[in-house]
Amino acid sequence: MTDVFEKIVSLSKRRGFIFQSSEVYGGLAATYDYGPLGVELKRNVMQRWWNAMVYRHDNVAGLDAAILMHPTVWKASGHVDAFNDPMIDDKVSKVRYRADQLIEGYIDRLRKKGKDGEADRVYQALVDALNAEDQAKALYDIIMSEEIKSPDSGMFDWTEVRQFNLMFATKLGALAGADSTVYLRPETAQGIFVNFHNVRETARMAVPFGIAQIGKAFRNEIVARQFIFRMREFEQMEMQYFVKPGAQKEAFEEWRAKRMQWHLDNGIRPSKLRWHEHEKLAHYADAAFDVQYEFPIGWQEVEGIHSRTDFDLKGHQEHSGKNMQYFDPQTNDRYIPYVVETSAGLDRTVLMLLCEAYREEEVEGETRVVLKFHPSIAPVKAGIFPLVKKDGMPEVAHAIEADLRQHFLTEYDEKGAVGRRYRRMDEVGTPYCVTVDGETLENGTVTVRERDSMQQVRIDKSQVATWIFDRMRAWTPGE
């Protein structure tokens, strides 16, 4: 892990954003709990996504489907047969790797050494292997022919590459027979597909229209070592947009543009975002692009935009025997719609926002750690401080706080020097602080201070909420 990444992990724990799950028992690998500030951050992100997708599109409706679904769903979707990752073990250290990621790491190291020609050659071999009939063998052959050593032990002593299904299985009911196996959903999308007609009919939608959903997904990831970047239980924000066959290219470009804009609107700098085209298209997809962010651990995916054709609806039609066609009353056409999907990781978006916001700045000879979140995303919107704990200042401060808490979360702090209280708020990304002092008691004005510029002005205490809302609307990310 990089230095900055470690600092973010440590700040997240220390200030109550993210904790290791079941920490008192030594933790459970790749599962995390969101603390008081983390849950606010996450909810703000969810709300911004929901507003952008559902409220701003009159042809997108929301859904909240169950995590457990009929087991045949995962047959129809292809997950039972093909939701695999190729794994390989270092026999010396017993550390397990995802074979494709091991090769990607090797390619990165070649590039860092300036061996671009070799890197290109191995990259092409990787693309071919990912598309090969016997993917496991093809990946194994690359590791052997390139003599890729284990990053962990430095040894070259590997097992074969084996395919590993990522779905968590469990049993339904008391009679645990072979046919009672159910799965924790590995993606939220299938809940949307099986509800295609339910939502279309009840929300009175006509193609093109979308169904949006936020919810948990579970994957028994082979390698999960990078904090909330890759978890075994995580949350997705997905939308499936149903279009007439032939219209998918246009819809794909439309949603690609909209999704990139959403990340920019959250305050991510354009230089930190890029598009990445999939090396390997899923057999049913006709286009797939990822939004990548430059994390401290390198460029990585945060969201995928996929053109999935009619694969899923067709699969459910075949396996359920129910007609999944759409009847177009305007043209009298009948068809199974094509689907453009936008699939973002909620936790990964949270991690991106933490990485993007984290700054260390020199202020008057001291290092100030500040999270420069977009104010709408910041967990706490305002810190409220009485200058001293007497003379009626706490009472006035509490009254201001009660007023602001009708709109958003605030934090009251009366301990220590005001400078220190500012620093505590900076460290969790609180964009505004309000201080009640002697002058407040005389003329009703308070000092308000902005996190980013650290500038302070005096305004009337009755104007604090309005001032904050105006500032929030006008906020733009700095450098």
Q: Which of 118, 146, 221, 294 is the binder for ligand ATP (CB under 6 A)? A: 221
Pairing of strands 382-386, 432-436: parallel
| Residue 79 near ligand ATP by CB under 6 A | no
Backbone φ, ψ for residue 379 (5° rounding): -60, -45
| Residue 437 near ligand ATP by CB under 6 A | no
Give the three-state DSSP class for 22: coil
| Residue 38 near ligand ATP by CB under 6 A | no
| Residue 185 near ligand ATP by CB under 6 A | no
Distance of CA 10 to the CA centre of its chain: 19
Q: Which of 79, 200, 348, 381 is the binder for ligand ATP (CB under 6 A)? A: 348
| Residue 231 near ligand ATP by CB under 6 A | yes
Q: What is the dihedral of CA 390, 396, 399, 400, to 10 degrees?
A: -120
In the complex with ligand ATP, the residue whose CB is nearer, 42 or 219, is 219
| Residue 234 near ligand ATP by CB under 6 A | yes
CB of 304 to ligand ATP, least distance (A): 4
What is the C-alpha R_g of the chain? 26
| Residue 230 near ligand ATP by CB under 6 A | yes
Interacting span for ligand ATP (CB under 6 A) from 104-112, 131-139, 226-234, 307-315: 226-234
- The position carrying tokens 């500030």 is 37
User: Binding residues for ligand ATP, how many (CB under 6 A)?
Assistant: 16
Interacting span for ligand ATP (CB under 6 A) from 34-42, 50-58, 298-306, 424-432: 298-306
Q: Do residues 402 and 346 lie in contact, with contact meaning Cβ atoms separated by under 8 Å?
A: no
Structure token digits, residue 23: 């920490």
In the complex with ligand ATP, the residue whose CB is nearer, 276 or 368, is 276
| Residue 219 near ligand ATP by CB under 6 A | yes
Q: Which residue of the chain is nearest ligand ATP when measured via CB?
A: 345
Distance CA 169, CA 166 (A): 9
Backbone φ, ψ for residue 142 (5° rounding): -65, -45
In the complex with ligand ATP, the residue whose CB is nearer, 221 or 294, is 221
DSSP string, 91-144: TTT--EEEHHHHHHHHHHHHHHTT-HHHHHHHHHHHHHHHTSSSHHHHHHHHHH
Q: What is the dihedral of CA 401, 403, 408, 410, to 10 degrees?
A: 0
| Residue 303 near ligand ATP by CB under 6 A | yes
CB of 348 to ligand ATP, least distance (A): 4
Task: Give residues in contact with ligand ATP (CB under 6 A).
Answer: 187, 219, 221, 230-231, 234, 236, 301-304, 343-345, 347-348
